[in-house]
Amino acid sequence: MQALLSFDQAPPFAAPFRFFVTAPVFAILAGVLLLSSGPELFASRWTPGALALTHLLTAGFMMQAMLGAMVQILPVVAGAHVVRPLRVATIVHAAMTAGTLLLVAAFLSYTPLFFGLAAGCLGLGATVYIGATAHALYRVPSTTPTIGGLKLAMLGLGVTVGLGLVLAISLGGSFPMPLLQLANIHLTWGVVAWGSVLLAAVAYVVVPMFQLTPAYPDWFGRAYSVAALTSVALWTAADLAGWELASGLLSGLVVLVAAVFFYVTLKIQRKSKRAGFDATQRYWRMAMFSALAASVLWLVARSVPQIGEWHGWPLLLGVLLLVGGFMSVIVGMLYKIVPFLVWMHLQNLGRGRLMAPNMKKVLSERQMVRQMTAHFAAFALLVLAVFWPEWLVYPAGVAMIAANTWLLYNLLSAAGVYRHHLKKIEALLVAST
């Protein structure tokens, strides 16, 4: 199932890394927002603070990290070569960063101009990115589940961004739209059709490669991406058509399809050949358990009226899915991808004359474990803050800032190793000429 890797086709180090190092900055801002908004943020999922926090984590942290991963994965895993990757990365990164900051400002101030500017920046970034990746993937046959999954993930991203732009333009211009319905559809496309499909496509390669597990089952690789996208599309059509029974049944199918991915990943991880779990595996396991918990919570809230009527269950669902799920798995991947990128680029640049430092020298296990402990503490405090916001929203905000400042420090430390070793290579090459 694993794709054939072509390390010599990797884009410049700066292309994906700019996205990676920006992601924790948005999470730090999320912590600052928790401190500035206080308990009022947890009054409802529709408060300005809650909407701003959600987009700092999704359009900010998640989107930055996932776009950066795609910049790296497309040529190496799929053999899809983006034309001028550094230029594309520069434009997309600038547009998506500015757009997300403007969108957060729009939610907090409800300034129509900010919604329009945010839509323009995010639309530009998404158009350039999707256009460049679609052009790169167009002639690549879907010979592996990873390549097929990447193509479907791009479709999911396009719909997600498109719905987001409609919502932003509608809020900025006060156009009559079913905003709550479109917001739920937008969220589902982003989490399942874009997020989980891309995560699964990447997992087919990185989980067996870095965690020494068996490959994902063939049936799962063939079916998951198609099932996820199809179920979300069918539910969207039923929901927009007002078919309540069909919409309810299909929404349950969407959750169950996603839950299969979480369960299969946990099952595979149990068969790892490693003597003990490292930080990456712990991050992945936490992410899968948390996402499964979110799936169960959704099903229970739909089945038990007392839970469904509690205003806090959507907030708890968001914390489980976004912070415990996606943020955890993304940090876990960054702790493998970034050291690997440093090693790979330095190995190629050294041309056999100067060996690249071992991946464990780029970022030590102790550094990762300490940051992981801070992240898990922040996640636990956020879960508890849903129940007792008056007491725990401020500790949760401090913990979020601390964990992601630590993550940023670790990523910059890895970049420092890259720059230091690159100077050695350049000096050696100059001396030999």
pLDDT at 352 over 70: no
Q: Domain with 202 in it: what CATH number?
A: 1.20.210.10
- Measure the CA–CA gap between 283 and 289, rounded to whole angstroms: 10
Provide the whole-model pTM.
0.93
Residue 65 belongs to a domain: yes
Pairwise pLDDT comparison (327 vs 351), residue with the higher score? 327
Least confident of 121-125, 230-234, 339-343, 405-409: 339-343
Mean pLDDT of 344-361: 76
What is the pLDDT averaged over residues 327-338? 93
What pLDDT digit, counting tens, does each position of 359-409 carry? 788 888 999 999 999 999 999 999 999 999 999 999 999 999 999 999 999
Residue 105 main-chain phi, psi, to 5 deg: -60, -35
Quote the pLDDT of residue 4. 44
Confidence class of residue 9 from pLDDT cuts 50, 70 and 90? low
Query: How confident is the model at residue 35, as a pLDDT?
Result: 97
Predicted pLDDT at 8: 54
Question: Within a domain: residue 1?
Answer: no
Nearest to 103 by CA among 157, 57, 152, 139: 57
Residue 285, pLDDT above cutoff 90:
yes
Residue 165 located in a structural domain: yes
Q: Please give the residue that has the higher pLDDT: either 215 or 72.
A: 215
Residue 368 lies in a domain: yes
Which three-class secondary structure state does DSSP give residue 218?
helix
Is residue 313, in this structure, part of any structural domain at all? yes
Is 161 inside any structural domain? yes
In this structure, what token pair is assigned to residue 173? 């211009």
Token couple for 386: 């849903």
Within a domain: residue 111? yes
- Quote the number of domains for the chain: 1
* pLDDT score for 14: 87
Mean pLDDT across 417-433: 77
166: confidence class by pLDDT, cuts 50, 70, 90: very high
Instruction: Write down the pLDDT at residue 74.
Output: 81
Segment among 37-46, 55-64, 266-275, 309-318 with least mean pLDDT: 266-275
Residue 57 has a pLDDT of 97
Q: In the predicted model, is pLDDT for residue 433 greater than 70?
A: no
Question: Domain for residue 2, yes or no?
Answer: no
Mean pLDDT of 1-18: 67
Which residues fall within 8 angstroms of residue 410, CB to CB, at 6 or more apart? 335, 363, 367, 368, 371
* DSSP characters over 337-351: HHHHHHHHHHHHHHT
Query: DSSP code of 44?
Result: -
Give residue 7's pLDDT.
Answer: 52
DSSP 105-163: HHHHH--HHHHHHHHHHHHHHHHHHHHHHHHHHHTS---SHHHHHHHHHHHHHHHHHHH
Distance CA 165, CA 275 (A): 47
CA distance 52 to 321: 16
pLDDT at 3: 44
pLDDT band at 2 (very low <50, low <70, confident <90, very high): very low
Which residue segment(s) compose the domain that 95 sits in?
Answer: 7-432
Size of the chain, expressed as the number of residues it contains? 433
Task: State the greatest distance between any 2 C-alpha atoms of the chain, in Å, as a whole number.
Answer: 76
What pLDDT score does 178 carry? 85
Q: How confident is the model at residue 423 (pLDDT cuts 50, 70, 90)?
A: confident
Q: With a cut of 60, say whether residue 332 has pLDDT above it.
A: yes
The rounded distance, in Å, linking the Cα atoms of 77 and 153 is 15
Quote the pLDDT of residue 72: 82
pLDDT level of residue 200 (50, 70, 90 thresholds): very high
Taking all residues of the chain, what is their mean pLDDT, rounded to a whole number?
A: 90
Alpha helices in 174-217 (DSSP H): 179-188, 197-211
